[in-house]
C-alpha cells in the first residue's frame, strides 16, 4: 500500500506540473486552469488522510470519507474535460484558418504561374509583320 501512496503522490505532482505547462502553452485558459489547481489542491489533504486511514486498515472510515470526496473529484474531472475540449476547438479553428490561408496562397500562385505561362506562350506564337503595318501574323509553323 505504501507503493500505491508513493505512486499517487508522484501522479499528483505530475498533474500539477502538467497544469502549469498547459498554462504556459495556452495562457488564455490560465484562470480556468488555476481554478482546477485550487480545487485539486484543496482535495489533497483529505485524500492523504484517507490514504493514512487505509494504511492503518481503517477501511470503513476511509471509504466513507472517500465517498464524501468523490463529488469534488468529479468537479475537477468535468472542469478538465471542458478545458480540454475548448483547447481542442481553439486549435482546430486555428488549423482551419491556416489551411484556408495556405489554400488561397496556393491558388493565387497557381493562377499567377498559369497566366505568366500563357502570356509567354502567346508572345512566342504571334509576330508582327512590319511589311503590312502592325497587324499580327501567324507564325510560320502554323501555316
- Mean of the per-residue pLDDT values for the chain? 82
- Measured from the Cβ of residue 35, the count of other Cβ atoms closer than 10 Å reads 14
Backbone angles phi, psi at 133, to 5 degrees: 95, -130
Is this model's pTM higher than 0.85 or not? no
Q: Which helix (H) or strand (E) holds 136?
A: strand 136-137
Q: What is the band of 143 on the pLDDT scale with cuts at 50, 70, 90?
A: very low
Q: How far apart (Å, rounded) are the C-alpha atoms in residues 87 and 30?
A: 11
- Measured from the Cβ of residue 110, the count of other Cβ atoms closer than 10 Å reads 10
Q: Return the domain boundaries, the chain.
A: 2-98
For 79-117, what is each residue's pLDDT tens digit? 999 999 998 998 888 888 888 888 888 888 877 777 777
Say what percent of the chain tops pLDDT 70: 80
Q: Which of 37, 46, 31 is nearest to 75 (CA)?
A: 37
Amino acid at each position: 500500500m505504501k507503493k500505491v501512496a508513493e505512486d499517487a503522490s508522484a501522479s499528483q505532482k505530475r498533474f500539477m506540473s502538467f497544469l502549469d505547462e498547459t498554462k504556459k502553452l495556452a495562457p488564455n485558459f490560465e484562470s480556468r486552469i488555476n481554478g482546477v489547481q485550487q480545487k485539486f489542491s484543496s482535495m489533497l489533504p483529505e485524500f492523504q488522510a484517507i490514504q493514512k486511514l487505509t494504511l492503518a486498515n481503517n477501511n470503513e472510515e476511509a471509504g466513507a470519507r472517500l465517498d464524501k470526496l468523490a463529488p469534488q473529484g468529479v468537479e475537477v474531472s468535468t472542469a478538465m474535460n471542458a478545458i480540454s475540449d475548448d483547447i481542442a476547438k481553439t486549435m482546430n479553428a486555428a488549423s482551419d484558418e491556416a489551411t484556408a490561408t495556405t489554400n488561397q496562397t496556393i491558388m493565387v500562385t497557381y493562377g499567377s504561374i498559369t497566366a505568366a505561362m500563357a502570356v509567354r506562350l502567346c508572345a512566342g506564337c504571334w509576330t508582327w509583320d512590319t511589311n503590312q503595318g502592325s497587324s499580327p501574323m501567324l507564325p510560320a509553323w502554323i501555316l
